[in-house]
Structure 1
Amino acid sequence: MQRIIKDRQVIDESWHLLPKDASLDGLSNSDDLIVPLALWQEHSHALKVRDGGLGIWLDSDEEVENIVDDLAHFQVIALNFPVFSDGRHYSSARLLRDRFDYQGELRAIGDVLRDQLFYLQRCGFNAFAIREDRDTEDALQSLNDFSEVYQSATDQPEPLFRRRG
């Protein structure tokens, strides 16, 4: 079973991340599922009436504006980083948290490395599925790499000069 970081703790993963080409065939009605955008767009009516939890994942070339009207249906939004150098979803996270006020779990998936976690957290991510060849416990420590931040961000709306008395 995969372990993820959620809210600064390492936990066992309980959600099933469906592949990009998934279909409704054979899906359990009670499992907690994170579905790809295409499946949601084609079968949202059927997915809404399931008994299990519902999440969605977006690939790096898919925009959060595609799901804004449906945010209330998702307990988890997972944003895929196909390679660590693809940073488009840093902006997606900021949009979801700051502009669209998404309050649920926001998870980074894909090629997620220890060195990114602190910055992903600053953009609004609260959950991280670390690459399987990496140590999740070690990655957790990276959330404390810096004791103070200068700039404002989702996790600290005021810059340092405003916080200093």
Structure 2
Amino acid sequence: MVRLRPIACLAILLPALLPVIGCGKTCPTMAWINYVTVGLDGDTRNVAWVQLCTPDSCSQQTDRPAPPPVLPTATPTPTGANGLGFPPGQGPAEHHISVERNGTDAWRFGFVMESPGSVTVRALDSAGKTLAEKRVSLAWQQIGKATECGGPATAAPVTLTVNST
């Protein structure tokens, strides 16, 4: 009977073990933006802008389309310092809500790699007075093919009804 040395056993078994060892999914380092659109209904004559708030922050006022947000460059770190592959302090802005006006009565809000469960939307006049307000739950639907790695999502559009004053 021939006795195999441990190195020889490893050399024989390694090709059979590689598919089992390498079965984990490696996801690329990336950032994305999740969007929800708010549309107005009713008497919108006095609405100057729409604001969306999460428990952590609110969108800023805008009267024209905002430029698309610039996502940080995905530069992997040797240690994966913050778990996203960004160097410390250079990841996506936390709790930042981008906003752009899409037409007369629609606004699109974006969240960098966040998908809040509920938000409050407000229609405001030019002086900042609230004309309508509504708290809504958002159900996010991931878009794209990389569902196992995360990725962009959209929520169903929100309609805010403004009553005449």
Normalised by the length of structure 2, the TM-score is 0.23
Task: Give the structure with the higher percent strand.
Answer: 2
Task: Give the structure with the higher percent helix.
Answer: 1
Normalised by the length of structure 1, the TM-score is 0.23
The structure with higher relative contact order (CA 8 Å, sep 6+) is 2
Flag the structure with larger Rg.
Answer: 2
